[in-house]
Amino acid sequence: MTTVSPGLSPAELQKAARDHLWLHFTQMGGYLDSEVPIIVRGEGCYLEDANGKRYLDALAGLFAVQIGYSYGDEVGEAAAAQMRELPFYTNWSYAHPRAIELAAEVASLAPGDLNRVFFVSGGSEAIESAWKLARQYYSARGEHRTALARIPADPGAPHVRVDFDAEQAAKLTGERRWKAISRHVAYHGTTMGALSINGIPALRNPFEPLVPDVLHVRNTNRYHRPTKETEEQFTHFLLDDLEQTIEATGPETVAMVIMEPVQNAGGAFTPPEGYWRGVREICDRYEILLCADEVITAFGRVGAWFASERYDIRPDLITCAKGLSSAYASIGAVVATDRVMEPFLESSRMFTHGITFGGHPVQAAIALKNIEIMKREKIVERVAAEQGNVRDTLAQLLELPIVGDLRGTGFFYALELVKDKETRTTFTDEECERLLRGFLTPRMFEAGLICRADDRGDPVIQISPPLVAGQTEFDKIVGILGEVLTEAWERI
């Protein structure tokens, strides 16, 4: 029998799990008469459960475990060393070496002048923090401009107040923006602010009323667009939708446009040519902060340290988490440009936000070790070099009648499932429930494959293994999915 925990057998773990553990995003009633999957160890791209069964993790523990599961000893040594030196201290008005070193490391990897790093405990907190920062930035900027205008042009002249007319003063000191714009079907987290930004009604509805005000625009899903539409026309359509939304709500009220470089929910939507350049131009025109949500795409997932560099997004803010530590620790960050930081550098002003464990020294030490390993093993370069082969391997599944589309990049892909490939007809909600949760999810697990069957939008299978996966793992993914999806088609 596999030893899983001191003093607890697999049967005892099952009982304790049913009696006490509340799983996330899980229909707990489904485990009243069946076993809770209990994962007890990992190695490379593989996991093992309490019964000794082995699984290929084709989801990287929710798009997070970049270096795989075999670096526990090395990362653990870094954590233990930090525990001996300084197990904890907060970043509220104080600093410690690991947070400083990690901030410098992240800034060195981020594109452009994204130089200021605000640490949090995870992705949802990063989104929450970015929206709060965007909101406060505008009032701080107004106050900052007022203060600058009061300084005489000649430094040697007497320091006198410059008079403003009422309209100018109101514009500068009363500048307040609070709205956010994101995209339909986009997932950005679960805390109330992040949830409000989500573009998935099924996740939002149970918790309404939410934080005001968020508007949602078209995402970059091209699969269900008119077949004769050119990429240029699609880009124009998307940008026109974004600009009209801004104009309709009032540009002076919008604080932030937040989008993933490659949208996860709905199935790895990549941007068309010219899209990000156009989004940046629109944000500049209306003086709106652009935030790239890179909680998933940062740290190698799409073949670059940051997807913002790959797509030349030039955001004012980046949110990241997951791959920052390869999920070996709970840590995330908001990375801001020098321009966003500027109004907060006056001695009397602060960003009135904080997280107790943001920049935790042990978490920071683990993230530093993760980045060291990724650099040493050339993980990001490997993804960039292998992504073409990965796509070609996964493209074999397009031969199946149930697979309509393959989209994505790097090690980040999705297969869209359809009832009719010619018409691109999708499944009904009831059919999705039976197909995805009733058959595909348990059948893939039974076959030793952890993938995600998702219907936040059209039904997709998400494929995103650890970045150390090789051709053997991708061949296995295709082999298992080929069998399981063929069975699913026969059951329709």
Task: Calculate the dihedral angle through the C-alpha atoms of 378, 382, 385, 390, rounding to the nearest 10 degrees.
Answer: -170
Predicted local distance difference test score (pLDDT) of residue 144? 58
Predicted local distance difference test score (pLDDT) of residue 146? 56
DSSP 14: H
Six token digits for residue 132: 């709060």
Task: Calculate the dihedral angle through the C-alpha atoms of 455, 460, 465, 469, rounding to the nearest 10 degrees.
Answer: 170
Q: What residue spans define the domains of the chain?
A: 37-67+379-491, 81-376
- 37-67+379-491 homologous superfamily: Aspartate Aminotransferase, domain 1 (3.90.1150.10)
Evaluate whether 67 touches 484 at the Cβ level (below 8 Å): no
Alpha-carbon 394 to chain mean position:
23
Predicted local distance difference test score (pLDDT) of residue 70? 98
Nearest to 431 by CA among 450, 410, 452, 458: 458
Predicted local distance difference test score (pLDDT) of residue 142? 81
Six token digits for residue 75: 């990362």
DSSP 377: T
pTM: 0.92
Predicted local distance difference test score (pLDDT) of residue 54? 97
> Rounded distance, CA 363 to CA 303, Å?
24
Predicted local distance difference test score (pLDDT) of residue 165? 43
Tell me the three state secondary structure of residue 54: strand
Evaluate whether 178 touches 215 at the Cβ level (below 8 Å): no
Nearest to 190 by CA among 104, 124, 143, 123: 124
> Rounded distance, CA 437 to CA 329, Å?
30
Rg (CA), the chain: 24
Residue type at position 156: G
* Ranges of residues in the chain whose predicted pLDDT is under 50: 1-3, 150, 155, 157-170, 172-173
Q: Which residue has the tokens 């991708």?
A: 474
81-376: CATH topology: Aspartate Aminotransferase; domain 2 (3.40.640)
**Residue 476: Cβ within 10 Å count:** 17
The residues near 105 (Cβ < 8 Å, ≥ 6 apart) are: 368, 371
Extended beta strands in 384-475, E state: 403-409, 412-417, 449-450, 452-454, 460-463
Predicted local distance difference test score (pLDDT) of residue 296? 98
Predicted local distance difference test score (pLDDT) of residue 418? 96
Six token digits for residue 31: 């485990």
3-state secondary structure 387-405: HHHHHHHHHHHHHCCCEEE
Predicted local distance difference test score (pLDDT) of residue 443? 95
Six token digits for residue 451: 């993938």
